[in-house]
Amino acid sequence: MEFTTQPTLENEKVILFPLQEDDFEALYAVAADPKIWEQHPNKDRWKREVFQTFFEGAIQSKGAFKIVDKSTGQIAGSTRIYDYNQQDNSILIGYTFFGTAYWGKGVNHSVKALLLDYLFQFVSRVDFHIGAVNRRSQVAIERVGATKVGEQEVAYFGELPKLNYIYRLEKEEWLANRVTTPEPGLNLKADE
């Protein structure tokens, strides 16, 4: 299998499709809820013009996905893989958000497991940028098994830099502790 930053990936809950320009309206319909962005570094991303900039960056990244709920065919959110570093044998996952209807349903964990299973065929380390004020996403990524390793100002496409925490997951840790479904009772309502 050859590595690509935009494969189509699927498991029992979701399908990740490469994000296309004609996905804007359907994805914005999900992203237009201010509640999604309450803890995000850019709290205005629910506004059309701000989301348009985010979406343009996603398309240009060539690593963004729309997340589709297999049971309904509806778009649940979006995520992205980026900054592949062949020398460090690493890559990042981030820019993830879900509609509030998908919070607490194990969808975030399912998406991360799908991406991690794919990426760890090619890299030995995956990092995550998570907003310093985004406690929901910090808790969710810790439940996946990642550990905070630092802090960094991140300049999102077309936006001012914001403080992010860097979380890390090594391939050996993922393979040793991988859980295919979240533990009963886990409240995985997160976006990154």
pLDDT digits (tens, 9 = 90+) for 27-54: 999 999 999 999 888 889 999 999 999 9
Q: Is residue 97 part of a domain?
A: yes
Instruction: Name beta bridge partners: 82.
Output: 92
Q: Is residue 38 part of a domain?
A: yes
Domain span at 138: 9-177
User: Which pair of structure tokens corresponds to residue 100?
Assistant: 């509030």
According to DSSP, the β-strands at 14-18 and 147-155 are unpaired
Q: Is residue 188 part of a domain?
A: no
Number of structural domains found in the chain: 1
- Whole-prediction pTM value? 0.88
Q: Is residue 79 part of a domain?
A: yes
Phi and psi at residue 55, to the nearest 5°: -65, -40
pLDDT score of 20: 97
Q: Is residue 114 part of a domain?
A: yes
Residue with tokens 């649940």: 76
Q: Which amino acid is at 85?
A: N
Residue 182 pLDDT more than 80?
Answer: no
Model confidence band, residue 184 (pLDDT cutoffs 50, 70, 90): very low
Model confidence band, residue 180 (pLDDT cutoffs 50, 70, 90): low
Residue 186 pLDDT more than 50?
Answer: no
Model confidence band, residue 190 (pLDDT cutoffs 50, 70, 90): very low
Residue 119 pLDDT more than 90?
Answer: yes
The tens digit of pLDDT for each residue in 70-107 reads 999 999 999 999 999 999 999 999 999 999 999 989 99
Question: Please, are residues 168 and 125 in contact by the beta-carbon 8 Å criterion?
Answer: yes
Average pLDDT of the chain? 90
pLDDT score of 179: 61
Q: Is residue 186 part of a domain?
A: no
CATH code of the domain in which 46 resides: 3.40.630.30
Q: Is residue 129 part of a domain?
A: yes
CA distance 45 to 33: 9
pLDDT score of 183: 41
pLDDT score of 77: 97
Give CA separation, 14 vs 8, 38, 65, 73, 125, in Å.
11, 25, 11, 9, 23
Q: Is residue 85 part of a domain?
A: yes
Burial call 45-63: b when 16+ CB within 10 Å, e when fewer:
bbeeebbebbbebbeebeb
According to DSSP, the β-strands at 90-98 and 125-131 are parallel
User: Which pair of structure tokens corresponds to residue 127?
Assistant: 């990092």
- Residue of 180, 169, 131, 173 whose CA lies nearest to 152: 131
Residue 109 pLDDT more than 60?
Answer: yes
CA distance 64 to 17: 8
Question: Please, are residues 116 and 126 in contact by the beta-carbon 8 Å criterion?
Answer: yes
